[in-house]
Structure 1
Amino acid sequence: MKWLRKKRVLLLLFLSFIVLIFFNSKWLMLFYPIYYKDEIRHHAAVNHIDPFMVAAIIRVETNYKANQESSKGALGVMQIMPDTAKWVISKAGLPDVSLESLKQEPDKNIQIGSWYLKSLYDQFEGNEIAVIAAYNAGPTKVKSWIKSGKWDGRLETSKDIPFGETRHYVQRVAHYYEQYQDLYKEF
């Protein structure tokens, strides 16, 4: 009986050691990959935003799959609505971007999406959580929630977001954002 107990203790110690090594190594990156790193890095730098935020949004929107179109008509890896894309193209002065290229070319999509994220950061005075919510629900809705007191724009109170889809979206993007920051340290 003593021999069996010793084996169990040794097995438990060995498994604990393996788990500790696994979670303190780069192995976890296999579960949190980042694709389009050069494009994300470039457009995030141009727009002075955190590349990890761009990566987290792409992960939640399409899991880095190109040529995506949602049932609501959102296009590309960052799932940009056509009207939003047209607005960004005119405001940012990007005549070489078409809606078709937005769907098929991740670089163009990330360019438009990053510019739009920067505009949301400006509108919400750098509040990352409100920016995430606005990327999903639209800035007008998020401003109305904050102004009316339905939600205060913080992750800790994201359970108060009136739309279930946006509430879940904020939590998922915030999770991936945190994981990317912890795992990759630098982009």
Structure 2
Amino acid sequence: MRKKKKTAIFIILIALMIFVINLKPIGRMMFPLKYYDYIVKYSKEYNLSPFLVASVIKVESNFEKDAVSVKNARGLMQLTPSTAKWASEQMKLEDFNVDMLHEPMLNIRMGCWYLNNLKEEFGSDMEIVLAAYNGGRGNVKKWLNNYENSKNGVDLHYIPFEETDKYVKKVQVNYNI
């Protein structure tokens, strides 16, 4: 009986090793590479980590270019029409319309521009930048000016919006993966 058990365990271990060797790295399974070139290009252009951008895309749309949220945010990086219109003006994009948010190249470019814009305003603390990306820059300003949320007006110690708090944590987990 012991010999059969050892043989079975050995066979299972060999099968597992073959299976694992043939698997794609886990990061590639979670972050499809079909937008890799755009992610790298615009991350570099806007001084962002490509892993951060891929993590935002993963959490926002799970890499679905035609995603539309209940708040009408669109595309891979889930930009709302009002934010996208404002960003297109700031970026001096001509002939922009919200249907263009489903074009991966433009969506990633605008999303990276917006993340960088938030980074310029709030500094390099990505938790604050992500909170502003999800919860709005106006809300983050209020939170930073409220002692219950920020003890020093610079660091965010508590995010009062549960959705935004969960969002920041999800992006951070994906970034670490």
Q: After TM superposition, is the score higher than 0.5?
A: yes
The more displaced of 142-151 and 111-120 is 142-151
What root-mean-square deviation, in Å, do the aligned CA atoms of Structure 1 and Structure 2 show? 2.7
Deviation at 1:111, TM superposition (A): 1.0
Separation of aligned partners in 2, 1:170 and 1:9: 42
Q: Which residue of 2 aligns with 1:140?
A: 138
For residues 42 and 31 of structure 1, what CA distance do their matches in structure 2 show?
20
AA paired with 1:135? Answer: Y
Q: Which amino acid is 2:25 matched to?
A: W
CA contact (8 A) 1:40 1:110 kept: yes
**SS in structure 1 at match of 2:96:** coil
Q: Retained in 2: the 8 A contact 1:97–1:108? A: no
TM superposition shift of 1:177: 0.9
CA-to-aligned-CA distance 1:16-43 (integer Å, 9 cap, x gap): x95xx95xx9532324444400111111
User: Residues 127-172 of structure 1: CA distance to partner in whole angstroms, max 9, x if unpaired?
Assistant: 1111111110011111211221333446xx5xx3111111110110
Please give the secondary structure, in 1, of the residue aligned with 2:140: helix
Q: What SS does the corresponding residue of 1:36 show, helix, strand or coil?
A: helix
Identity %: 34
In structure 2, runs of 5+ residues without a counterpart are none
**If the length of structure 1 is used for normalisation, what is the TM-score?**
0.77
Q: In the alignment, which residue of structure 2 is the partner of 1:91?
A: 90
* Greater relative CO (CA pairs within 8 A, separation 6+): 1
How many residues of Structure 1 are paired with residues of Structure 2 in the alignment?
170
1:62 equivalenced with 2:66 (yes/no): no
Gaps of 5+ in 1: 180-187
The amino acid of 2:92's aligned partner reads: G
The alignment's TM-score, normalised by the length of structure 2, stands at 0.81
Following TM superposition, by how much is the alpha carbon of 1:114 offset from its aligned partner in structure 2, in angstroms? 0.7
Partner of 2:159: 161
* Map of 1:39 onto structure 2: 38
